């Protein structure tokens, strides 16, 4: 099983008049076929920019990807491709869906046509064939009366239906990778669960690898094989979902897990948000970027930049103290009683 996607030392910086925004500053990961990687972090952690970098959707006017960065899709360098090459991958081999389905569909074209567009473009289908296939896809994502619905316009769809349509659009050409950038954030809670169920089901059926970008750890728990936590453009923890959830190594991850409201806690627990503000990506704090907000920060954290180090098998953390076996927290213990 060859690695589907290899991201090596990805650095994406934006040159603005106020300075260089280091949106992504050294990210490494691999993605295997059929697996799901969750990329977790706050707004501004660089998770979306990472995804857009993979698709090379970074605007060329201000965005620069580092020359020593590389992204390999099935062994071929995406960063080295010419424009035509990249476009033949987009929507075809790697597809992306976005956060807000309300605005992500073009209001003046019918839904079926928008779904069929990539089929016509990449698979050379004729319009009629594309229309038929679009109906099949709408059916596959669980939209009733798909035949009539394909002729509707986006504003006639509800939010959840639109996101389903987006998924149909993304999966039209049977891509190897689906990147989902906060696909459920803009939806109602009940719809969120439905969409996630749908994605899991489709993945089982088609074997598509998924990169799931989210700030919602609940989503991660449902779907991810591996989890990558980002902060201020850097990876600060990486491991299997179980590792990161039950044996988190980085104080930031502890903060994330602890600040979740728990529906299985009977007494009134106190929600502990992480204090402070997310850091500026132009003036990144010195040393460990998290140190201003970290309750465990020591002097050395201000000066030394921690590297992502493997602590256990397949589980790494970018904290200077993670190597110390005493520096641990048990957050979600499996023995906890369920109420």
Partner 1 sequence: MSDRDDLRHDAHNPHTHDESPVDNGELRDAAGHSIKDQSRSLPIPPTDDIIADGGRTLWGDAWYRLRKNKLAIAGLVWVIFVILVTLTADLWVKPYFGDPLAMDTTLGANLQPPSADHIMGTDKLGRDVFARVVYGARISLTVGVIAVAISVAIGLIMGALSGYFGGFLDTLIMRGADVFLAFPYVLFAIALIAVLGPSYRNVFIAIGILGWPSIARVFRSSILSVKENEYIDAAKAMGAGHLRMIFRHIMPNAVAPIIVYGTMSIGGAIITEAALSFLGMGVQPPTPSWGLMLSDARPLMVRAPWLMLWPGFAILTTVLAFVLMGDGLRDALDVKMKD
Partner 2 sequence: MLKYLIRRVLQMIPVFLGVTMLLFILRAPGVLPGDPVRMITGERAISDTLRAQIVEEYGLDRPLPEQYVLYLGNLAKGDLGDSFQKSRPVVDILADKFPNTVKLALAAIVIEVIIGISAGIISAVKQYSLADVLTTLSTSILVAIPVFWLGMMLQLFFGILLKRWTGDTIYLPISGMTSNRFPDWAHMILPAITLASVSTAYVARIMRSQMLEALGQDYIRTAEAKGLSRRAVIWRHAMKNAMIPVVTFIGIDLGAMMAGAILTETIFNWPGVGYEIFVAIGQRDWPVVMGGVIFIVFAVMIVNLLVDLSYAVLDPRIRYGGAAE
Q: Which residues bind partner 2 (CB under 8 A)?
A: 55, 57, 87-92, 95-96, 98, 100, 103-110, 117-118, 121-122, 152-153, 155-158, 161, 166, 169
x/- map, 187-216, partner 1, by CB under 8 A:
xxx--x----------------------xx
Q: How is residue 167 written in tokens? A: 């998924």
From CA 107, how far away is CA 326, in angstroms rounded?
56
Between 109 and 296, whose beta carbon lies closer to partner 2? 109
Tell which one of 28, 242, 285, 327 touches partner 1 (CB under 8 A): 242
Range in contact with partner 1 (rule: CB under 8 A) among 70-78, 110-118, 140-148, 278-286:
278-286
CA dist 194 → 127, 163, 184, 208, 326 (Å): 31, 11, 10, 19, 41
Do 96 and 170 touch, CB atoms closer than 8 A? yes
292 lies in the site for partner 1, by CB under 8 A: no
Minimum CB separation from partner 1 for residue 235, in Å? 16
Q: Which is nearer to partner 2, 193 or 305 (CB)?
A: 193
How big is the chain by its Cα radius of gyration, in Å? Answer: 21
For partner 2, the closer of residues 142 and 255 by Cβ is 142
CA distance 335 to 241: 18
Return d(Cα 329, Cα 148) in angstroms, integer: 54
Q: Does 334 bind partner 1 (CB under 8 A)?
A: yes
Q: Which stretch binds partner 1 (CB under 8 A): 51-59, 128-136, 144-152, 321-329?
A: 51-59
Choosing among partner 2, partner 1, none, which partner's interface includes residue 81 (Cβ < 5 to 8 Å by kind)?
A: none
Determine the length of the chain: 339
Half-sphere exposure of 4 (CA within 13 A, CB side): 19
Distant-in-sequence, close-in-space partners of 273: CB < 8 Å, separation ≥ 6: 255, 259
Q: What is the largest CA-CA distance in the chain?
A: 66
263 binds partner 1 (CB under 8 A): yes
By the rule CB under 8 A, 336 interacts with partner 1:
yes
C-beta closer to partner 2: residue 178 or 230: 178
Q: Pairing between strand 36-40 and 226-231?
A: parallel
Say which entry of partner 1, partner 2, none residue 30 contacts (CB below 5 to 8 A, set by partner kind).
Answer: none
Q: Name the binder of 195 from partner 2, partner 1, none, CB < 5-8 A by kind.
A: none
The burial class, CB within 10 Å (0-12 / 13-18 / 19+), for 295 is: exposed
Tokens of 154: 């986006």
CB within 8 A of 316, min separation 6: which ones? 237, 238, 239, 249, 308, 309, 310
Q: Which of 30, 185, 194, 206 contacts partner 1 by CB under 8 A?
A: 185
Residues that bind partner 1 in the complex, under the rule CB under 8 A: 12, 14, 16, 18-19, 21, 23, 42-44, 46-49, 52, 57-59, 61-63, 99-100, 102-103, 184-189, 192, 215-218, 220-222, 241-242, 245, 255-257, 259-264, 271, 273-274, 277-283, 332-334, 336, 338
């Amino acid at each position: 099983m060859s690695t589907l996607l290899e991201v090596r030392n990805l650095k994406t910086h934006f040159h603005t008049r106020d300075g260089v925004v280091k949106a992504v500053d050294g990210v490494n990961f691999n993605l295997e076929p059929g697996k799901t990687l969750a990329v977790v972090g706050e707004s501004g952690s660089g998770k979306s920019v990472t995804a857009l970098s993979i698709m090379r959707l970074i605007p060329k006017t201000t965005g620069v990807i580092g020359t020593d960065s590389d992204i390999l899709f099935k062994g071929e360098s995406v960063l080295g491709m010419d424009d035509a090459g990249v476009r033949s991958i987009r929507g075809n081999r790697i597809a992306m869906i976005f956060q807000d389905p309300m605005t992500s569909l073009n209001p003046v074209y019918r839904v079926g046509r928008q779904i069929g567009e990539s089929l016509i473009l990449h698979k050379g289908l004729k319009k009629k064939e594309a229309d038929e296939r679009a109906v099949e896809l709408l059916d596959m994502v669980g939209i009733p009366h798909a035949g009539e619905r394909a002729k509707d316009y986006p504003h006639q769809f509800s939010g959840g239906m639109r996101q389903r349509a987006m998924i149909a659009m993304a999966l039209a050409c049977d891509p190897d990778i689906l990147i989902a950038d906060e696909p459920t954030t803009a939806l109602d809670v009940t719809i969120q669960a439905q969409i996630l169920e749908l994605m899991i089901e489709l993945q089982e059926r088609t074997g598509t690898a998924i990169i799931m970008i989210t700030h919602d750890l609940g989503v991660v728990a449902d779907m991810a094989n591996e989890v990558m936590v980002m902060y201020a453009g850097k990876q600060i923890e990486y491991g299997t979902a179980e590792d990161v959830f039950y044996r988190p190594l980085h104080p930031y991850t502890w903060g994330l897990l602890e600040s979740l409201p728990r529906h299985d806690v009977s007494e009134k627990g106190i929600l502990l948000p992480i204090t402070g503000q997310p850091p500026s990506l132009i003036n990144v704090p010195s040393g460990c970027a998290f140190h201003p907000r970290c309750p465990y920060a020591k002097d050395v954290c201000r000066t030394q930049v921690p590297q992502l180090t493997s602590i256990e098998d397949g589980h790494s953390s970018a904290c200077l103290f993670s190597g110390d076996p005493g520096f641990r927290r048990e957050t979600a213990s499996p023995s906890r009683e369920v109420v």
